[in-house]
Structure 1
Amino acid sequence: MTETSENVTWLTQEAYNKLKDELEYLTGPARTEIAAKIAAAREEGDLRENGGYHAAKEEQGKQELRVRQLTQLLEHAQVGEAQTSADGAVGPGMVVTIAFDGDEDDTLSFLLASREYASADIETYSPQSPLGSAVIGNKVGEEAQYELPNGKKASVKILKAEPYQG
Protein backbone atom coordinates (compact mmCIF):
# COMPACT_ATOMS: atom_id res chain seq x y z
CA MET A 1 0.00 0.00 0.00
CA THR A 2 1.44 3.35 -1.01
CA GLU A 3 0.84 6.26 1.31
CA THR A 4 -0.50 9.50 -0.07
CA SER A 5 1.71 12.56 0.21
CA GLU A 6 -0.57 13.95 2.94
CA ASN A 7 0.36 11.02 5.21
CA VAL A 8 4.09 11.23 4.56
CA THR A 9 6.56 13.41 6.41
CA TRP A 10 9.57 14.17 4.25
CA LEU A 11 12.81 14.36 6.22
CA THR A 12 16.39 14.86 5.21
CA GLN A 13 18.73 12.15 6.40
CA GLU A 14 20.16 14.64 8.91
CA ALA A 15 16.71 15.47 10.33
CA TYR A 16 15.76 11.78 10.48
CA ASN A 17 18.98 10.91 12.34
CA LYS A 18 18.44 13.78 14.81
CA LEU A 19 14.87 12.67 15.59
CA LYS A 20 15.92 9.00 15.85
CA ASP A 21 18.69 9.98 18.31
CA GLU A 22 16.17 11.96 20.37
CA LEU A 23 13.82 8.96 20.45
CA GLU A 24 16.63 6.63 21.53
CA TYR A 25 17.60 9.03 24.33
CA LEU A 26 13.99 9.40 25.51
CA THR A 27 13.38 5.64 25.54
CA GLY A 28 16.72 4.87 27.23
CA PRO A 29 18.65 7.23 29.50
CA ALA A 30 15.80 9.74 29.93
CA ARG A 31 13.40 7.04 31.14
CA THR A 32 15.98 5.85 33.65
CA GLU A 33 16.53 9.43 34.88
CA ILE A 34 12.82 10.15 35.34
CA ALA A 35 12.26 6.82 37.10
CA ALA A 36 15.04 7.73 39.54
CA LYS A 37 13.46 11.15 40.18
CA ILE A 38 10.08 9.54 40.89
CA ALA A 39 11.64 6.93 43.20
CA ALA A 40 13.56 9.61 45.12
CA ALA A 41 10.42 11.73 45.51
CA ARG A 42 8.44 8.69 46.73
CA GLU A 43 10.96 8.18 49.52
CA GLU A 44 10.20 11.68 50.80
CA GLY A 45 6.86 10.52 52.15
CA ASP A 46 3.25 11.59 51.65
CA LEU A 47 2.69 11.70 47.87
CA ARG A 48 -0.42 13.91 48.12
CA GLU A 49 1.67 16.88 49.26
CA ASN A 50 4.90 16.02 47.49
CA GLY A 51 5.56 18.67 44.81
CA GLY A 52 8.70 16.91 43.57
CA TYR A 53 6.78 13.70 42.94
CA HIS A 54 4.00 15.46 41.03
CA ALA A 55 6.51 17.45 38.96
CA ALA A 56 8.42 14.28 38.08
CA LYS A 57 5.20 12.47 37.09
CA GLU A 58 4.19 15.42 34.89
CA GLU A 59 7.63 15.44 33.26
CA GLN A 60 7.28 11.69 32.67
CA GLY A 61 3.91 12.23 30.96
CA LYS A 62 5.33 14.90 28.65
CA GLN A 63 8.29 12.69 27.85
CA GLU A 64 6.08 9.71 26.97
CA LEU A 65 3.90 11.93 24.75
CA ARG A 66 7.02 13.01 22.86
CA VAL A 67 8.05 9.34 22.50
CA ARG A 68 4.66 8.55 20.92
CA GLN A 69 4.91 11.58 18.60
CA LEU A 70 8.41 10.69 17.45
CA THR A 71 7.54 7.02 16.97
CA GLN A 72 4.56 7.88 14.77
CA LEU A 73 6.51 10.51 12.83
CA LEU A 74 9.45 8.22 12.12
CA GLU A 75 7.14 5.34 11.11
CA HIS A 76 5.63 7.52 8.37
CA ALA A 77 8.78 9.39 7.35
CA GLN A 78 10.27 9.32 3.90
CA VAL A 79 13.97 10.06 3.97
CA GLY A 80 15.59 11.93 1.13
CA GLU A 81 14.53 14.64 -1.21
CA ALA A 82 10.86 15.50 -1.37
CA GLN A 83 9.42 14.31 -4.62
CA THR A 84 8.08 16.86 -7.03
CA SER A 85 4.85 15.94 -8.69
CA ALA A 86 4.90 15.39 -12.42
CA ASP A 87 1.97 17.78 -12.86
CA GLY A 88 3.60 20.64 -10.90
CA ALA A 89 1.22 20.43 -7.95
CA VAL A 90 2.17 21.73 -4.50
CA GLY A 91 3.21 18.98 -2.11
CA PRO A 92 5.05 18.36 1.16
CA GLY A 93 8.70 19.34 1.13
CA MET A 94 8.16 22.33 -1.13
CA VAL A 95 8.75 26.02 -0.55
CA VAL A 96 5.52 27.73 -1.56
CA THR A 97 5.10 31.43 -2.26
CA ILE A 98 1.57 32.78 -2.09
CA ALA A 99 -0.12 36.14 -2.52
CA PHE A 100 -2.97 37.01 -0.18
CA ASP A 101 -6.24 37.99 -1.87
CA GLY A 102 -4.47 38.30 -5.23
CA ASP A 103 -2.26 41.18 -3.97
CA GLU A 104 1.18 40.29 -5.31
CA ASP A 105 2.73 42.83 -2.92
CA ASP A 106 1.37 40.92 0.10
CA THR A 107 3.22 37.61 -0.20
CA LEU A 108 4.44 34.83 2.06
CA SER A 109 6.95 32.07 1.36
CA PHE A 110 6.86 29.01 3.58
CA LEU A 111 7.98 25.41 3.74
CA LEU A 112 5.11 22.94 3.51
CA ALA A 113 6.32 20.28 5.94
CA SER A 114 6.03 18.79 9.40
CA ARG A 115 6.90 21.02 12.34
CA GLU A 116 9.82 18.65 12.92
CA TYR A 117 11.32 20.13 9.79
CA ALA A 118 10.97 23.69 11.05
CA SER A 119 14.06 25.87 11.11
CA ALA A 120 14.86 29.49 11.79
CA ASP A 121 15.57 29.96 8.07
CA ILE A 122 12.00 29.68 6.81
CA GLU A 123 8.52 29.64 8.26
CA THR A 124 6.99 26.15 8.21
CA TYR A 125 3.34 25.21 7.77
CA SER A 126 2.08 21.67 8.23
CA PRO A 127 0.22 20.05 5.34
CA GLN A 128 -2.61 19.54 7.88
CA SER A 129 -2.82 23.24 8.79
CA PRO A 130 -5.66 25.26 7.23
CA LEU A 131 -3.29 27.04 4.82
CA GLY A 132 -1.26 23.90 4.10
CA SER A 133 -4.31 21.77 3.34
CA ALA A 134 -5.71 24.54 1.10
CA VAL A 135 -2.64 24.81 -1.15
CA ILE A 136 -1.59 21.15 -1.28
CA GLY A 137 -2.39 19.61 -4.64
CA ASN A 138 -2.91 22.99 -6.34
CA LYS A 139 -0.63 24.29 -9.10
CA VAL A 140 1.21 27.57 -9.57
CA GLY A 141 -1.24 30.22 -10.73
CA GLU A 142 -4.22 28.61 -9.05
CA GLU A 143 -6.15 30.11 -6.15
CA ALA A 144 -7.07 28.37 -2.92
CA GLN A 145 -9.31 29.27 0.01
CA TYR A 146 -8.95 28.39 3.66
CA GLU A 147 -10.72 29.23 6.87
CA LEU A 148 -9.21 31.73 9.31
CA PRO A 149 -9.45 31.21 13.08
CA ASN A 150 -12.29 33.77 13.20
CA GLY A 151 -14.33 31.66 10.76
CA LYS A 152 -13.89 33.95 7.76
CA LYS A 153 -12.45 32.69 4.47
CA ALA A 154 -9.15 33.87 3.04
CA SER A 155 -8.05 33.52 -0.54
CA VAL A 156 -4.47 33.00 -1.73
CA LYS A 157 -2.88 32.68 -5.14
CA ILE A 158 0.04 30.28 -5.54
CA LEU A 159 2.91 32.19 -7.14
CA LYS A 160 5.71 29.65 -6.85
CA ALA A 161 6.36 26.09 -5.59
CA GLU A 162 9.86 24.64 -5.51
CA PRO A 163 11.49 21.68 -3.75
CA TYR A 164 13.09 22.69 -0.45
CA GLN A 165 16.88 22.76 -0.69
CA GLY A 166 17.41 23.30 3.08
Structure 2
Amino acid sequence: MTFKQFALRNVQRNLSSYLAFFMASTISVMVFFIFSVAFFHPSMNKYLTDLLASILPFQYGCSFVFVLYSFGTFLHRRLREFGLLRLLGITDSQFIKLMFFENVLIGFISIASGILLGLLFAKYFFFVISMIFQFPLEFSLSAIPIGFTFMSFINLFVLYPSCLHFLFAPKPFTPY
Protein backbone atom coordinates (compact mmCIF):
# COMPACT_ATOMS: atom_id res chain seq x y z
CA MET A 1 0.00 0.00 0.00
CA THR A 2 1.39 3.37 -0.97
CA PHE A 3 1.27 6.42 1.25
CA LYS A 4 -1.43 8.06 -0.88
CA GLN A 5 -3.57 4.93 -0.64
CA PHE A 6 -3.08 4.95 3.13
CA ALA A 7 -4.27 8.57 3.29
CA LEU A 8 -7.29 7.78 1.10
CA ARG A 9 -8.26 4.78 3.22
CA ASN A 10 -7.75 6.84 6.34
CA VAL A 11 -10.29 9.36 5.04
CA GLN A 12 -12.73 6.60 4.07
CA ARG A 13 -12.49 4.85 7.46
CA ASN A 14 -12.82 7.96 9.63
CA LEU A 15 -15.58 9.63 7.69
CA SER A 16 -17.34 10.82 10.86
CA SER A 17 -14.22 12.67 12.06
CA TYR A 18 -13.73 14.30 8.69
CA LEU A 19 -17.38 15.32 8.30
CA ALA A 20 -17.23 18.43 10.50
CA PHE A 21 -14.08 19.71 8.77
CA PHE A 22 -15.62 18.94 5.37
CA MET A 23 -18.85 20.77 6.18
CA ALA A 24 -17.03 23.83 7.55
CA SER A 25 -14.87 23.97 4.44
CA THR A 26 -17.84 23.50 2.11
CA ILE A 27 -19.84 26.28 3.75
CA SER A 28 -16.86 28.64 3.56
CA VAL A 29 -16.38 27.89 -0.13
CA MET A 30 -20.11 28.28 -0.81
CA VAL A 31 -20.38 31.72 0.82
CA PHE A 32 -17.22 32.96 -0.90
CA PHE A 33 -18.47 31.65 -4.25
CA ILE A 34 -21.83 33.39 -3.90
CA PHE A 35 -20.13 36.70 -3.15
CA SER A 36 -17.68 36.26 -6.02
CA VAL A 37 -20.55 35.50 -8.45
CA ALA A 38 -22.19 38.73 -7.32
CA PHE A 39 -18.90 40.63 -7.60
CA PHE A 40 -18.22 39.48 -11.16
CA HIS A 41 -21.84 39.97 -12.28
CA PRO A 42 -21.91 42.10 -15.45
CA SER A 43 -24.93 44.24 -14.51
CA MET A 44 -24.11 44.87 -10.84
CA ASN A 45 -24.15 48.58 -10.01
CA LYS A 46 -20.97 50.38 -8.95
CA TYR A 47 -21.97 50.85 -5.31
CA LEU A 48 -22.58 47.13 -4.77
CA THR A 49 -19.43 46.19 -6.68
CA ASP A 50 -17.38 48.45 -4.39
CA LEU A 51 -19.13 46.98 -1.36
CA LEU A 52 -18.43 43.44 -2.54
CA ALA A 53 -14.81 44.37 -3.29
CA SER A 54 -14.41 45.21 0.38
CA ILE A 55 -16.40 42.19 1.59
CA LEU A 56 -14.54 39.51 -0.41
CA PRO A 57 -11.12 39.86 1.29
CA PHE A 58 -12.79 40.08 4.70
CA GLN A 59 -14.84 36.98 3.96
CA TYR A 60 -11.75 35.14 2.74
CA GLY A 61 -9.95 36.07 5.96
CA CYS A 62 -12.91 34.83 8.00
CA SER A 63 -12.91 31.62 5.97
CA PHE A 64 -9.19 31.27 6.63
CA VAL A 65 -9.72 31.55 10.40
CA PHE A 66 -12.85 29.36 10.32
CA VAL A 67 -11.16 26.58 8.36
CA LEU A 68 -8.03 26.90 10.51
CA TYR A 69 -10.12 26.50 13.67
CA SER A 70 -12.03 23.52 12.27
CA PHE A 71 -8.73 21.99 11.11
CA GLY A 72 -7.33 22.39 14.63
CA THR A 73 -10.43 20.81 16.13
CA PHE A 74 -10.19 18.06 13.55
CA LEU A 75 -6.56 17.39 14.51
CA HIS A 76 -7.43 17.45 18.21
CA ARG A 77 -10.13 14.79 17.70
CA ARG A 78 -7.57 12.49 16.17
CA LEU A 79 -4.87 12.70 18.86
CA ARG A 80 -5.22 9.01 19.79
CA GLU A 81 -4.83 7.97 16.18
CA PHE A 82 -1.75 10.15 15.84
CA GLY A 83 -0.31 8.68 19.03
CA LEU A 84 -0.79 5.20 17.63
CA LEU A 85 0.89 6.19 14.39
CA ARG A 86 3.79 7.61 16.40
CA LEU A 87 4.10 4.35 18.29
CA LEU A 88 4.18 2.49 15.00
CA GLY A 89 7.09 4.65 13.93
CA ILE A 90 5.76 7.38 11.66
CA THR A 91 8.25 10.21 11.27
CA ASP A 92 7.46 13.92 11.35
CA SER A 93 7.86 14.26 7.60
CA GLN A 94 5.56 11.28 6.99
CA PHE A 95 3.01 12.78 9.37
CA ILE A 96 3.12 16.11 7.53
CA LYS A 97 2.80 14.29 4.21
CA LEU A 98 -0.21 12.34 5.52
CA MET A 99 -1.91 15.55 6.70
CA PHE A 100 -1.13 17.19 3.37
CA PHE A 101 -2.72 14.40 1.31
CA GLU A 102 -5.78 14.17 3.56
CA ASN A 103 -6.29 17.93 3.63
CA VAL A 104 -5.88 18.36 -0.12
CA LEU A 105 -8.30 15.47 -0.75
CA ILE A 106 -10.93 16.97 1.55
CA GLY A 107 -10.17 20.41 0.13
CA PHE A 108 -10.82 19.37 -3.48
CA ILE A 109 -14.07 17.64 -2.54
CA SER A 110 -15.26 20.58 -0.43
CA ILE A 111 -14.35 23.08 -3.17
CA ALA A 112 -16.39 21.12 -5.71
CA SER A 113 -19.37 20.67 -3.39
CA GLY A 114 -19.16 24.30 -2.18
CA ILE A 115 -19.26 25.60 -5.75
CA LEU A 116 -22.21 23.33 -6.55
CA LEU A 117 -24.10 24.44 -3.44
CA GLY A 118 -23.17 28.04 -4.25
CA LEU A 119 -24.74 27.61 -7.69
CA LEU A 120 -27.95 26.47 -6.01
CA PHE A 121 -28.11 29.34 -3.52
CA ALA A 122 -26.74 32.14 -5.73
CA LYS A 123 -30.06 32.55 -7.51
CA TYR A 124 -31.80 33.17 -4.17
CA PHE A 125 -29.02 35.58 -3.19
CA PHE A 126 -29.63 37.60 -6.37
CA PHE A 127 -33.36 37.53 -5.71
CA VAL A 128 -32.83 38.98 -2.22
CA ILE A 129 -30.39 41.61 -3.50
CA SER A 130 -32.84 42.69 -6.20
CA MET A 131 -35.66 42.91 -3.64
CA ILE A 132 -33.61 44.96 -1.16
CA PHE A 133 -32.07 47.41 -3.63
CA GLN A 134 -35.10 47.58 -5.93
CA PHE A 135 -33.46 46.90 -9.28
CA PRO A 136 -33.82 43.84 -11.46
CA LEU A 137 -30.86 41.51 -11.25
CA GLU A 138 -30.92 38.22 -13.09
CA PHE A 139 -28.66 35.29 -12.30
CA SER A 140 -25.61 35.29 -14.54
CA LEU A 141 -22.61 33.00 -14.28
CA SER A 142 -19.24 33.03 -15.98
CA ALA A 143 -16.12 30.95 -15.51
CA ILE A 144 -14.32 33.78 -13.70
CA PRO A 145 -16.01 33.29 -10.26
CA ILE A 146 -15.50 29.53 -10.46
CA GLY A 147 -11.81 29.92 -11.26
CA PHE A 148 -11.38 32.68 -8.68
CA THR A 149 -12.99 30.59 -5.94
CA PHE A 150 -11.08 27.46 -6.93
CA MET A 151 -7.70 29.21 -6.94
CA SER A 152 -8.38 31.05 -3.69
CA PHE A 153 -9.37 27.96 -1.76
CA ILE A 154 -6.86 25.57 -3.28
CA ASN A 155 -4.20 27.97 -1.97
CA LEU A 156 -5.87 27.86 1.43
CA PHE A 157 -6.05 24.07 1.58
CA VAL A 158 -2.47 23.61 0.41
CA LEU A 159 -1.19 26.24 2.84
CA TYR A 160 -2.54 24.61 6.03
CA PRO A 161 -0.65 21.32 5.85
CA SER A 162 2.53 23.11 4.88
CA CYS A 163 2.16 25.11 8.10
CA LEU A 164 2.37 21.80 9.98
CA HIS A 165 6.06 21.73 9.17
CA PHE A 166 6.56 24.62 11.58
CA LEU A 167 4.65 22.81 14.31
CA PHE A 168 6.52 19.52 14.02
CA ALA A 169 9.96 20.72 12.92
CA PRO A 170 12.78 19.43 15.10
CA LYS A 171 13.48 21.85 17.88
CA PRO A 172 17.03 22.50 19.04
CA PHE A 173 17.97 20.99 22.36
CA THR A 174 18.48 23.61 25.05
CA PRO A 175 19.57 22.32 28.44
CA TYR A 176 18.11 24.01 31.48
After TM superposition, the score normalised by the length of structure 1 is 0.32
- More strand per residue: 1 or 2? 1
Between 1 and 2, higher relative CO (CA 8 Å, sep ≥ 6) is seen in 2
After TM superposition, the score normalised by the length of structure 2 is 0.31
